[in-house]
Structure 1
Amino acid sequence: MKKISELLEAAADRAVLVVDGISDAGLGDTTPCAEYDVRDLINHLFQVVVNFQILAAKGEADFGETPKFVTDDWRARFREETAKLVVAWDAPGAEDGTTGAMGLPARTVGNMVLGDLTVHAWDLARATGQEFVPDESVLNEIGPALAAMAPMAREAKVFGEAYPVPEGAGPFERVLALTGRDPGWRPPRA
């Protein structure tokens, strides 16, 4: 079994490519997450990346109001923060015990951020006309992990109701549908 930090490194590499490909002109575009435009989703993803660094160190994270990260050189800061996330989850003991206010197993919490980084990278890629294919080892980890978390995530309104997918849907399409996303979502065009 791969360490969460190794999986996060693979996921972060792909997410950074997507974030680097977002133009400032597209920050107001819609995303598969109805409550977020591109700018809001980047701010949310920054908040996740920063807070899960704290959770890796067994600290208490604050997911209250979302700070405004999309200022100045936000693409470089995203690279820096995802690198810090990988380092935080590589620290001795990061995957041991429990973490966070809910007292969840640390590896479960690591899978949460791994799922967010991967699924939101897809959201941003799809919203901005980019291609996104998750790392296979990441997909192999988050598929069963997110399936196990789905009932709790739906109750907490983090996941929507599962989206129906046709028989023969691929593993990533099934993960997206599990989180309430339409894997075929495309941005509306004027």
Structure 2
Amino acid sequence: MTNTISELLDAAAARAVPVVRGITDERLDDPTPCAEYDVRGLANHLLQVVINFQAMAAKKDADFSAEPDYLSEGDWRGRFADETDVLVKAWAAPGAEEGTTGSMGMAARTLGEMVLGDLTVHAWDLARATGQEFTPDPVVVGEVTESFAALAPMARKMGAFGEAVTLPDEETASEFDRLLAMTGRNPHWQQP
């Protein structure tokens, strides 16, 4: 049986929300494994992704051109938890996974898998950058790995993924480590 995007997002959010809640203010300027962002920038980006993909679930366009500063707007950690709840409900709405959505006219399910991947991989980025533990849901990892394998060439052209990282322990690496490597991350990244 195929899991719905909303079920998968619910599982991913349950792992991501504690990471975001665990980010302390003194860590906001620290680097992350996602090289173009520090912790502040990545937390802002992830919140923007969660909000914009709510619109896409409703077959509306999303605006990624502006980069709002959500972290200056009060309880952003609580807002992240609230917005992930809204995201799960948006993708549970009848028809959310059907047809196409967004200005690129992509399959709605594919876009749902993209936000699922962001919620999972960026939660790891933030956890690793702030010294927290993160163990993703294995069902989510399987879904994202399959989806991202198909999306990787386009994602690299668009700059969303870095070049794949070669793992020295490819044979014994976990599925999640292979997923991180596919997106251009070193699964063994440590805070400098």
1:54 paired residue number? 55
The SS at the match of 2:42 is: helix
Once residues 179 and 32 of structure 1 are traced to their aligned partners in structure 2, the CA distance between those partners, rounded to angstroms, is 11
Aligned length: 188
2:186 paired residue number? 182
Residues 8-23 of structure 1: pairs in structure 2 closer than 5 A: 8-23=9-24
The one-letter amino acid paired with 1:80 is D
Residues 29-178 of structure 1: pairs in structure 2 closer than 5 A: 29-71=30-72, 72-165=74-167, 166-167=169-170, 168-178=172-182
Once residues 152 and 30 of structure 1 are traced to their aligned partners in structure 2, the CA distance between those partners, rounded to angstroms, is 26
Once residues 67 and 96 of structure 1 are traced to their aligned partners in structure 2, the CA distance between those partners, rounded to angstroms, is 29
Pairwise CA distance, 1:136: 1.0
The one-letter amino acid paired with 1:170 is S
The SS at the match of 2:184 is: coil
Identity value in percent: 63
Question: Structure 2: where are the runs of 5+ without partners?
Answer: none
Cα deviations by residue, 1:73-108 (Å, 9 ceiling, x for unpaired)? 111100110000000000000000001111111100
Cα deviations by residue, 1:8-30 (Å, 9 ceiling, x for unpaired)? 00101110010011101111111
The one-letter amino acid paired with 1:180 is G
Once residues 156 and 40 of structure 1 are traced to their aligned partners in structure 2, the CA distance between those partners, rounded to angstroms, is 19
Pairwise CA distance, 1:42: 0.3
Pairwise CA distance, 1:110: 0.2
Pairwise CA distance, 1:33: 1.2
Cα deviations by residue, 1:142-183 (Å, 9 ceiling, x for unpaired)? 011011100010011100000001222110000000000000
Once residues 156 and 77 of structure 2 are traced to their aligned partners in structure 1, the CA distance between those partners, rounded to angstroms, is 31
2:25 paired residue number? 24
- Which range moves more in the overlay, 163-172 or 89-98? 163-172
Pairwise CA distance, 1:123: 0.0
Q: Over the residues paired in the alignment, what is the CA RMSD in angstroms?
A: 0.6
Pairwise CA distance, 1:113: 0.1
Question: Structure 1: where are the runs of 5+ without partners?
Answer: none
The one-letter amino acid paired with 1:56 is A
Once residues 187 and 116 of structure 1 are traced to their aligned partners in structure 2, the CA distance between those partners, rounded to angstroms, is 21
Once residues 181 and 110 of structure 1 are traced to their aligned partners in structure 2, the CA distance between those partners, rounded to angstroms, is 22
Once residues 158 and 134 of structure 1 are traced to their aligned partners in structure 2, the CA distance between those partners, rounded to angstroms, is 21
The one-letter amino acid paired with 2:174 is G
